[in-house]
Structure 1
Amino acid sequence: MDPRITQLAEMLVRDAIALKKDENILIETTDTPADLSVALIRAVSKAGGRPFLTHHRSAVNRVLLQNASDAQLKIAAEHDLAFMKNMQAYLSIRGSDNFVELSDVPEDRTFANRTIRHPVLDWRVNKTRWCVLRWPTPSMAQGAGMSTEAFEDFYFKACLADYPAMQKAAKALVDLMNKTNKVRLVAPDTDLSFSIQNIPAVPCCGTMNIPDGEVYTAPVRESVNGVIHYNTPTLYEGKKFENTRLVFKDGKIVEATSSNTEAMNAIFDTDKGARYIGEFAIGFNPFVLHPMCDILFDEKIAGSIHFTPGRCYEDAYNGNQSAIHWDLVLIMRPEYGGGEIYFDDRLIRKDGIFVIPELDALNPDKLGAAK
């Protein structure tokens, strides 16, 4: 077994999940090797926990969804919710032999699955200690424009970053965001303003998603006004979207265009909350610099923000509820057009680099990235 697999499994169980003796943990794997499952079960057992594991194949899930009735989806969701209620922790590792495997699942089936399974997702996110990450596959390497071997090296470096140092450096950003009222984002075809007053800022430095490296909060729900033009491609339910541009008025998305405008607006019409924002976050993982159409990596890109239509988190609660949570990313480094972040009219980051002394420790050269 590759020793990096063992190292990753032990870090996930010991640090990211912080599993305790006699706790139950559901491990869900998709398109991943047996070595990973073995390493995770051993790590959980070493910690004194009780592992429960389910393994999925994307190609099988596709056929199930294509042929599933609402009644069938409801039975599965009720079963999964009852099972999830017995878990104290949840870990999901998702590989993909084909990123767009679900692209030809009928929209009415993806919509039904999304809404019927919402209670399962809601319980998992808000009632368990959870961590979600990808598994490196040739298709991921392709998306990153790298050889499989080079991508695996990058993957383990990014996932096994120095999270204690990152956590220490992020404290100043958390403190500043907790004191901030107005945020303004400026970039090419982007000028967006909103308030984050009295909504907590939450650091993510080696816990809920791996690779990690962000601080998130949420806008005051009706405070968002202006336009944002995301420059990072995204996948949602097997469909790819590029050049996404959203116009907001009093918090609501009133205009949405992209390379697939019709499908995008269908997603935003899932429910009332889908056209409002549930998360605003600043990314700073020093090893993740370029998009690969994988949100668990792309949202951590150094010099990026993500501004997320849909459900908010309970620990950064702005009241928005939805069956969707769609992290859309804007990279603000010079090679992607640059950009600025202002807190209460004070410039705090320019072209992806924090420019005030108290946040300098979060810049890539301070967090261990190669110069």
Structure 2
Amino acid sequence: MDERLQEHAEIIVDHCTRVEPDDNVLVQAPTEAEDLGVAVMEKLGDIGATATLNLGSSRASRAYQLAMDDDDWETPEHVLAMAKETDVSISIRADSNTFESSDVPPSTNQARQKEMRPLMDEMMDKRWLLTQYPAPGNAQDAEMSTEAYADFVFNAVNKDWDEQEAFQANMVEILDDADEVRIVSGDTTDVTMSVSGNPTKNDWAEHNLPGGEVFTAPQPESVEGEVLFDMPVMVQSREITNVRLVFEDGEVVEHSADKNEEVLTSVLETDEGAKRLGELGIGMNRDIDQFTYNMLFDEKMGDTVHMAIGRAYDDTVGEDNEVNQSAVHQDMIVDMSEDSRIEVDGEVVQRNGTFKFEDGFEDEA
């Protein structure tokens, strides 16, 4: 077995989820990621945890969704019961065909997401981890050979996370005491939001592997302005390009996209919370240096900002502030490498991708 898989498994179990011998652990992976599933299970066995590996199939999932009537979806109570007894949930992604579910109607995805909400809520209260296995389908999306994509994945995943945490802590310190954040990029993006009273999280691979971002939640009604998400986003196995959102009093009042706009519309219409922002994130993992059509990596890419419509994470919302609730959480990315800046309470803290605490910041002025 590739030694890098062993290291990946060790980071998952020891660093990300900190599994203990008395933990009940659920590992979920597609068949394409069985090798990483095996490495994780071996590590869990060494610790003495009680673990189960569920190998899934995107083809089976597609078949089930296409066969279901939209009115027949119900929360799977037997799965919810298992979730309630789970201490640690480890989810591994991998695809042989990332478009496998592209012909599942948006209405079906919308109905399914609503009924899966209780299960999602239960899992979010656990120690959970989402990571990636370098499968051929994902390599193809990234326009890489499988070998080159594996190198890319392991470089982003198997790294010194203590060092990454220290680097990101500089931005956490700036945002933690902030009131207003403004994101400007070219003449297509100028949006402001209040993050007052909401804590900023330092993602150094505790829930997502790779980690590499700092993120917080906007106050839902504070978002004003226009954003052009100039990097593509994959939603329901469909590519949406050049998403444009206009916010007034925190709510999306106009939206458009160059491709698959109807899918974007279906997401926004999922529920009331889907029309508001639930997250503002700043990518800081410089080992992720190219766009790969995989949000788990792309949102962490250096010189980017991402915003998510929908659900806000509870731990990014202050005790006295409103938590935006939704069945969806959809991240979208803005390239901040050129003609861009982040302002915090009127002060520029990042310019053209360079932070104020990095060498070269003044050269960008």
- Counterparts of residues 293-304 of structure 1 (less than 5 Å): 293-304=293-304
AA aligned to 2:130 is V
Residue number among 166, 169, 181 corresponding to 1:168 in the alignment: 166
Q: How many equivalent residue pairs?
A: 355
AA aligned to 1:2 is D
AA aligned to 1:232 is M
Distance 1:346 1:16, change over 3 A: same
1:31/1:94 contact within 8 Å kept: no
Structure 1, gaps ≥5 residues long? 364-371
CA distance in 1, matches of 2:120, 2:21: 25
CA distance in 2, matches of 1:245, 1:183: 19
Q: Quote the residue 1:311 is aligned against.
A: 311
CA distance in 1, matches of 2:236, 2:106: 9
Deviation at 1:136, TM superposition (A): 1.1
SS at match of 1:42: helix
Deviation at 1:110, TM superposition (A): 1.2
Deviation at 1:69, TM superposition (A): 4.0
Residues 210-257 of structure 1 deviation map (CA, whole Å, 9 limit, x = unaligned): 111011101111010000101111111111101011000010011111
- Counterparts of residues 133-152 of structure 1 (less than 5 Å): 133-152=131-150
Q: Which of 246-255 and 315-324 deviates more?
A: 315-324
Residues 3-49 of structure 1 deviation map (CA, whole Å, 9 limit, x = unaligned): 11111111100001111121011111024243222211111122221
SS at match of 1:302: coil
CA distance in 1, matches of 2:16, 2:32: 19
SS at match of 2:330: coil
1:233/1:291 contact within 8 Å kept: no
CA distance in 1, matches of 2:290, 2:268: 26
1:89/1:130 contact within 8 Å kept: yes
Residues 264-312 of structure 1 deviation map (CA, whole Å, 9 limit, x = unaligned): 1111000000000110011111111221111101110101111110000
1:311/1:322 contact within 8 Å kept: yes
What TM-score do you get using the length of structure 1 for normalisation?
0.92
CA distance in 1, matches of 2:101, 2:185: 33
Q: Quote the residue 2:353 is aligned against.
A: 352
- Counterparts of residues 33-44 of structure 1 (less than 5 Å): 33-44=33-44
2:110/2:270 contact within 8 Å kept: yes
AA aligned to 1:211 is P
- Identity in percent: 32
- Residue 113 (str. 1) matches residue 109 (str. 2): no
Deviation at 1:101, TM superposition (A): 1.0
Q: Quote the residue 1:368 is aligned against.
A: none
AA aligned to 1:344 is D
CA distance in 1, matches of 2:227, 2:216: 18
Q: Quote the residue 2:182 is aligned against.
A: 184
CA distance in 2, matches of 1:242, 1:120: 30
Q: Which of 98-107 and 190-199 deviates more?
A: 98-107
AA aligned to 1:95 is A
CA distance in 2, matches of 1:105, 1:305: 30
- Counterparts of residues 316-335 of structure 1 (less than 5 Å): 316-317=316-317, 318-334=322-338
What TM-score do you get using the length of structure 2 for normalisation?
0.94
CA distance in 2, matches of 1:347, 1:66: 49
CA distance in 2, matches of 1:185, 1:220: 15
Q: Quote the residue 1:104 is aligned against.
A: 103
Deviation at 1:152, TM superposition (A): 0.7
1:31/1:97 contact within 8 Å kept: no
1:301/1:331 contact within 8 Å kept: no
CA distance in 1, matches of 2:113, 2:33: 27
- Counterparts of residues 272-311 of structure 1 (less than 5 Å): 272-311=272-311
SS at match of 2:5: helix
AA aligned to 1:323 is A
Structure 2, gaps ≥5 residues long? none
- Residue 13 (str. 1) matches residue 21 (str. 2): no
Distance 1:33 1:216, change over 3 A: closer
Deviation at 1:107, TM superposition (A): 2.5
